[in-house]
Amino acid sequence: MHNEEYEVETSDFAAMAKILEIAGLEKYGDSIKTRESYRFNDITFDIDEYPGIPEYVEVEAESHEKVEEGVKLLGFTMEDTACITESGLREKYNIT
């Protein structure tokens, strides 16, 4: 399963939150995350840390083959990895 993400820059966090609320979206949680990002050969490596969740490395690229290349570069195999969303992590570690 692949989740698509699109990002836009906003200059006012509170105003954007209000726009989402007015559009009928329901807030389901907050998260505080520390992230360090690295890039090599068109592959992004993000070290993420959330309170209550063990630190992990996220590997992102334009293709599955590039992701696999990044995973191997770190000394792992695809069998060592998991594809999980932030909400899935929160559920796994019982964080509300």
Whether 81 maps to a domain, the answer reads yes
**Tokens at residue 54, please?**
């063990």
For residues 43 and 60, is the Cβ–Cβ distance under 8 A? yes
pLDDT digits over 79-91, tens only?
999 998 888 888 9
Neighbours of 47 (CB within 10 A): 13
* Residue 21 counted as domain residue: no
What pLDDT, in 10s, does the model give residues 49-62?
Answer: 989 999 999 999 99
pLDDT score, position 96:
72
If we measure between CA atoms, which residue out of 63, 59, 48 comes closest to residue 82? 59
SS3 37: strand
Indicate whether 9 belongs to any domain.
no
Per-residue pLDDT tens digits for 19-78: 999 999 998 777 788 999 999 999 999 999 989 999 999 999 999 999 999 999 999 999
pTM over 0.75: no
Classify residue 33: in a domain, yes or no: yes
Task: Supply the DSSP symbol for 84.
Answer: -
Domain that holds residue 82: 28-92
Domain count for the chain, please give it. 1
Distance of alpha carbon 11 from its chain centroid, rounded?
21
